[in-house]
Amino acid sequence: MKKITFIIAQYGDKVNGGAEKHCQMLAQKMSSYYEIEVLTTCCIDYNTFEEFYSPGTECYDNICVRRFKTNKYDSDIYKMYEKKIRIFRKVRRSIYRLGLSRILPFLNPVWQSQEKTETAYYRSHGFYSSDLLTYLEEYHQQSQAIILFSYLYPSTVFGSLISPEKTILIPTAHNESHLFRPIMAKLFNHVAHIAFNTHNEQELCRSLFGRHMAPHTVIGVGTDLASPTSLEYINNKFNLPSEYIMYFGRVADSKLDQLIPYFLSYKKKYPNNLKLVLTGKLYTKKVDHKDIVYTDFVSEAEKTALIQHAKLIINPSPHESLSLLMLESMKLGKIVLVNGKSKVLKEHCIKSNGAAFYYESKQDFIYKIHELVNGNQENNSEAQKYIEENYNWDIIIQKFRSLINRISENN
């Protein structure tokens, strides 16, 4: 079997995040056709960057996972470099908002400004691992292709420079400040291929990097769901309410947006038994309220059961590159409500012929929650049809295999 190397900042069964889950699923599916190696760090917490896993190699499910120590992290140095390059990021974002970003790549395809400072910034990042990059430098010739996950991490930025001619980038990009760093032009222009998850993500990057962007296609991702645990088990473990709406993912301010205050406003208007269940690792201060339940990290089997028994699934994030939670919930035929500020999430709602719903204000949120929770809760077959037609693993794996073959033929 030929080898494929995956590179991602965090990897393991204690990690929850869309890109990380995407990487794990794709690696597992590809292991039927290739020898799979995953290069990652020992960290799972992007606030503290403390080691969770031990460095070393472990092999399971036909996948060899190599974990590397990260370099010493100094938050003061990191913040210093972040401050130094902030102005250049703002300039690029302003250019984008003015609608000029499609024109400028013709004149200046790769921004060289502040490249040394940006390099120093990424080397000061908590996920920076010189050991990981040294290993890749030494052994990259053994791999038929290198697949990098998430554009914003040091292992992606520096890893793309080692063997760009056989590197595939899965950027999981959305409209956020990191995407406007000058160094990103080099990343998006010099890899062999970019595999986007959605057309909206592809269009965003086209508008930023123009005609010099590397060859690219929309490939997407499939959905896998673990067999659910019993209702009795999750009720006992999490003390679940009889009726709840659910969010799954990183419980962080950047992801929740206005979910909690919006939900509490809904409860004030409609004082019923409905509660909000937040599942996932906590990265923000808890709100102590009788109608909000925190489960912390849950297993895949627990997640499936929690989705199945929820009245409604919600993704309040204004910035998404895909949303596996949305796709998994739709696969189970559940009603999903998402933040209309996210073009990607809104695109799912429209392309699925209204099989999912979005809100665009607090009042709209309150109205939609009330209507959907009290409406028809029968199986959402349109949602299931949308997932089967657009996020089918057999089709996606064939696209990746064809892409890897084309890259190999060109090298």
Question: Domain range holding 203?
Answer: 3-74+84-222+392-410
Tokens of residue 35, six digits? 């020898």
Q: How many domains does the chain have?
A: 2
**H-assigned helices in 246-375:** 253-256, 259-269, 300-309, 324-331, 343-351, 362-373
Q: Is 309 helix (H, G, I), strand (E, B) or coil?
A: helix
Question: Is residue 156 domain-shared with residue 10, that is, in the same domain?
Answer: yes
With residues binned 3-state (H G I as helix, E B as strand, rest as coil), the percentages for the chain, rounded to 5, are 45, 15, 40
Contact by Cβ (8 Å): 332, 303: no
Classify residue 6 by its DSSP letter.
Answer: E
The whole-angstrom separation of Cα 242 and Cα 305 is: 14
In a domain, 146, yes or no: yes
Amino acid at 262: Y
Q: What kind and span of H or E run contains 245?
A: strand 244-248
Read off φ and ψ for residue 193, nearest 5 degrees: -160, 150
Residue 66 and residue 36 share a domain: yes
Q: Are strands 63-68 and 35-41 parallel, antiparallel or unpaired?
A: parallel
29 and 150 share a domain?
Answer: yes
pTM equals 0.88
Q: Which residue in this structure is represented by tokens 């606030």?
A: 47
Same domain (yes/no): 250, 216? no
Residue 287, φ and ψ in degrees, nearest 5: -100, 115
Same domain, 211 and 302: no
Tell me how long the chain is: 411
Residues 31 and 131 grouped into a single domain: yes
What crossing angle do the helices spanning 75-97 and 115-123 adopt, rounded to 10°?
A: 130
Q: Is residue 312 domain-shared with residue 298, that is, in the same domain?
A: yes
Does one domain contain both 179 and 319?
A: no
Sign, Cα dihedral of 148, 129, 5, 324: negative
**CA 43 – CA 65 distance, rounded (Å):** 14
The C-alpha atoms of residue 385 and residue 351 are separated, in whole angstroms, by 11
Contact 285/252 with Cβ under 8 angstroms? no
Could you tell me if residue 79 is inside a domain?
no
Token digits for 198?
Answer: 């959605």
- 52 and 95, same structural domain? yes
Two tokens at 358? 């979005």
286 to each of 64, 281, 282, how far by Cα in Å?
37, 12, 8
CA nearest to 263, candidates 291, 304, 305: 291
Angle between helices 362-373 and 259-269 (to 10 degrees): 60
pLDDT at 14: 84
What CATH number corresponds to the domain at position 102? 3.40.50.2000
- Residues 204, 291, single domain; the answer is no
pLDDT (tens digit, 0 to 9) for every residue of the chain, 411 residues total? 899 999 999 999 888 788 999 999 999 999 999 999 999 999 988 888 999 999 999 998 889 999 999 999 999 999 998 888 777 667 766 666 656 555 555 444 445 557 888 899 999 999 999 999 999 999 999 999 999 999 999 999 999 999 999 999 999 998 888 898 888 989 999 999 999 999 999 999 998 888 889 999 999 999 989 999 999 999 999 999 999 999 998 898 888 989 999 999 999 999 999 999 999 989 899 999 999 999 999 999 999 999 999 999 999 999 888 899 999 999 999 999 999 999 999 999 999 998 999 999 999 999 999 999 998 766 688 899 999 999 999 999 999 999 999 999 887
Specify the pLDDT at position 375.
Answer: 84
Whether the Cβ atoms of residue 88 and residue 183 lie closer than 8 Å to each other: no
| pLDDT of amino acid 107 | 45
Considering the domain architecture, whether residues 242 and 216 belong to the same structural domain is answered as no
Strands 63-68 and 56-60: antiparallel
Q: For residue 338, give the DSSP letter.
A: E
Is residue 104 domain-resident?
Answer: yes
